[in-house]
């Protein structure tokens, strides 16, 4: 059985979900406890997802003898830098968790794993997952996450990033980088890897693409509420 068959217990509540439009929209919230927004429990939940976000599947086999080591390996790959406080990994982990939990996606190329050095910035998609709706066909989920104070600024920056990511040269580089990272044990591997072959048109790559944007920002609604 795949290590991805195991997921942390659901924590985020989905307050809103509209799948009729394009884009599909959803709002998730950490909720409240004793009249306070659950900040610390939310951070603890992100730690639960950290190993899966940072480690490839073959490194996720965890038991009582190595669970601390695995968590430490994941944390080092993400946060070994004094600059981490200005970075958006918390947003990326949250987007990863929502896609995995609510949409049953499957990571096929951990972003942290193919960084050129520890905690180097990478001009890449923040999330690369696959989904197999109904067991037939492949969806390639490509994500962008923005963690900002201001919601409007986050949305504007996300749209700028996605626009750049759709340029021909960028997509060709992504195919070259991501393809070799896909484990051969991944479901529908042959179908997936075909999308990343240099001979395959970018049109086919985009036809199965689902572009996921995660916005995490300060909320006037949460600040004014206690439940």
Ranking 59-68, 93-102, 108-117, 143-152 by mean pLDDT, the lowest is 108-117
26 or 5: whose pLDDT is higher? 26
Other C-beta atoms lying within 10 Å of the C-beta of residue 111: 22
State pTM to two decimals. 0.87
pLDDT in tens, 84-117: 555 678 999 999 999 999 999 999 987 655 454 4
- Sorted by where each begins, the domain ranges of the chain are 3-223
Buried b (16+ CB within 10 A) or exposed e, 6-23: eeeeebbeeeeeeeeeee
Which residues, in sequence order, are CB contacts of 183 under 8 Å at separation 6+?
56, 57, 58, 108, 189
Strand, coil or helix: 164? helix
Paired with 36 in beta bridges are 33
The stretches of 80-213 forming alpha helices (DSSP H) are: 89-103, 151-165, 168-178, 189-195, 202-207
């Amino acid at each position: 059985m795949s290590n991805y068959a195991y997921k942390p217990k659901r924590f985020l509540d989905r307050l809103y979900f509209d799948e009729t439009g394009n884009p599909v929209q959803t709002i998730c919230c950490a909720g409240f406890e004793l009249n306070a927004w659950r900040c610390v429990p939310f951070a603890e939940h992100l730690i639960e997802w950290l190993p899966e976000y940072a480690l490839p599947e073959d490194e996720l086999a965890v038991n009582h003898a190595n669970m601390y080591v695995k968590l430490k390996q994941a944390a080092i790959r993400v946060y070994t830098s004094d600059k981490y406080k200005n970075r958006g990994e918390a947003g990326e982990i949250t987007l990863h968790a929502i896609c995995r939990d609510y949409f049953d996606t499957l990571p096929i190329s951990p972003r942290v794993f193919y960084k050129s050095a520890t905690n180097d910035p990478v001009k890449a998609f923040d999330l690369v997952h696959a989904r197999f709706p109904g067991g037939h066909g492949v969806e390639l989920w490509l994500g962008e996450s923005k963690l900002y104070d201001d919601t409007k600024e986050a949305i504007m920056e996300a749209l700028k990033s996605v626009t750049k990511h759709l340029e021909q040269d960028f997509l060709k580089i992504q195919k070259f980088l991501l393809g070799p990272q896909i484990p051969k044990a991944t479901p529908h591997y042959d179908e997936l890897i075909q999308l990343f072959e240099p001979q395959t048109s970018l049109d086919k790559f985009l036809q199965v693409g689902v572009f996921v944007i995660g916005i995490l920002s300060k909320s006037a609604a949460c600040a004014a509420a206690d439940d």
